[in-house]
Structure formats: C-alpha cells, structure tokens
Structure 1
Amino acid sequence: MTLTGKLVTQTEIKSDGDLFHDMFRKPHRIYNICPDKVKAVDLHEGDWGTVGSVISWKYVHDGKEKTAKEIIEAVDDEKKSVTFKVIEGDLTELYKSFIFIVHVDAMGESNLVTWTLEYEKLNENVPDPTTIMDFLVIMTKDIETYHLQK
C-alpha cells in the first residue's frame, strides 16, 4: 500500500472565477461566508495573497473544531491558482505532508473550480482525505451561492 496520494475534484460554478480566485488568495472573508464550516482565518506572517505568507484556519470538519496553519507556496493570478502547504494543525497528526491547490478555469458563463490534494500519510492505517475533499466541495458551493446572491 502506498503512503502518498493525490485526489482531484472539479466543481462547476456560475459565479465569477476572478472573485472565487481572489477569495482564496485572500481568504480572510471566508469565515463570514461559511461560518458553519470556517470559524476563523488569521494572517500570521506576510501579506494576504503573497507567497510565503502564513495563514491559520479554525474550521469544523466531521463535527469537530480543528485547526490548520498553512504557508502559501504559490500564487498564479493568470492561471487563477493558489497552493497552500499545511505546516501545523490537525492534519499533521495523520499526514507527513499535505498540500491544497485550488485552481479556477474560466469557461465563459460558467467556471470550473479544481481542488487538488497531494499528501503523504504517516502510516498505512491513515485514510485517504476524501472527507476533506467533500468539505472543500461544499465550501466551494457555499461561496458560489454567496456570490450569486450579491
């Protein structure tokens, strides 16, 4: 059994792709949009939306409050992509490494949000992070609903 893995999912959204990309480049507004899922997003180092910045999250996953501290590894405004590497928090109890990549493809009236999770489990008993991916898809839909209502 392999300890490294990659999960990819795509969700079509009708809201503006630039707005969605900006939401994850500067995620400090997400807790206002998804208060049942995200309790806080704080900047620890750097500036919002810049490589090397460190962000901490308090979120609810599987009914439990959890934390994650991430460093922004890459931002590509042209390709509408942001890469986060988890450096502390609950995910580090199960995974040796964990990377989130969110990418938006503009396709006219609709856009495609692609989430990619790249991870290495601490051992073979650790499950693949499918419930984390489910969480991200639901959060994506919540953000879309928020933008469509504006």
Structure 2
Amino acid sequence: MALTGKLVGHVEISSHADVLHDLLRHKPNDIASISEPVHSCDLVSGQQGVVGSVICWNYTHDGKKQSGKEIIEEIDETNHKIVFKYIEGDLLERYKTLTITFHVEPKDDKQLATWTFDYEKLDASIPDPTNVMDLLCGIVKDMYVHACNK
C-alpha cells in the first residue's frame, strides 16, 4: 500500500468563485459564522491572505474538536487558487505531510470549486483522508450558499 497519495474533491458552483476565494484568502475567520464545523480561524503570523502567513483553524471533525496550522504557500488570483501547507495540528498525527490546494476551474457552463490533497501517511494502516475531504467540501457548500444569499 502506498504511503503517498493525491485526493481530489469537487463542488459544482454556478458563480461566486471570487467570493469563495476572497473568503479563504482574506476573511477565513468569517467562515466560522458560515459553516458549523468551523469554530475559528486566526492569523498566527504574517499578513492575512499573503504568501508566508500562518493561520490556525479550530474545527470539529469526526465529533472531536481539532485544530491545525497552515502556511499559505501560493496564491493565484486568476485561477482563484490558494495552496496551504499543513504545518501543525491533529492531522499530523496521521499524515507526515499534507498540502491542501483550493482552486476554481471551469466546467461546461458552470465552475468546479476543487480541493486537492497531496499527502504522505505515517504508515500503511492510515486511511486516505477522504473524511477530511468530505468536511472541506461541506464547508465550501456552506460558503457557496452564503455567497448566493448575499
């Protein structure tokens, strides 16, 4: 069984790619009032929404309160893309490395809000992070509903 992997999840949206990107980049703390699993998102160091800044997420996953710190590694405004590298927190109890990319890509007359996980498990008994992907796709759906109701 391979220890490294890639997992991709999509949420179909019709518009508001810029709003979703803006929330994740500049106002991630607002997501706590939009999506129930997210309790808070705090800037730890750097400037909000800038490459190199570190943010800490507090959330509920699998019925447990958890947290994780991520550093923003890349931002691409054109493709509404943000790359986060997970550097500390509960998920590193199972994964040696975890890089999470969010971007929006066109599909027919709609768009896909896409999460991509690149990860390395600590050992072969660790499952792929599909339940984490489900969590993030659910959060994007909440963000999209919020954007549509503005």
**TM-score of the superposition, structure 2-length normalised?**
0.94
Alignment length, in residue pairs?
149
* Offset from partner CA, 1:57-91 (integer Å, 9 cap, x none): 00011111000000001011111100000100001
Tell me what 1:33 maps to. 34
Structure 2 match to 1:103: 103
In structure 2, C-alpha distance between the alignment counterparts of 1:127 and 1:33, rounded to whole Å: 29
Matches within 5 A, 1:44-59: 44-59=44-59
Aligned to 1:10: 10
Cα deviation 1:17-51 (Å, max 9, x = unaligned)? 111111111212111111x2100100011111110
SS at structure 2 position matched to 1:142? helix
Query: d(CA) in 2 for partners of 1:4 and 1:16?
Result: 33
Give 1:123's aligned residue. Answer: 123
Q: Which runs of 4+ in 1 moved over 6 A?
A: none
Deviation per CA, 1:81-140, whole angstroms, max 9, x where unpaired?
A: 000001000011110000110001256863210110010000011110000010011111
Over 3 Å counting, the alpha-carbon distance change for 1:23 and 1:2 in structure 2 is same
Which residue is equivalent to 1:148? 148
C-alpha distance in 1, partners of 2:41/2:108?
Answer: 31
CA RMSD of aligned residues (A): 1.4
For residues 148 and 14 of structure 1, what CA distance do their matches in structure 2 show? 10
Unaligned regions of 5+ residues in structure 1, if any?
none
CA distance in 1, matches of 2:51, 2:80: 14
State the AA in 1 paired with 2:21. Answer: H
TM-score for both structures, normalised by structure 1:
0.94
1:139 corresponding residue in structure 2 = 139
Q: Percentage identity across aligned positions?
A: 46
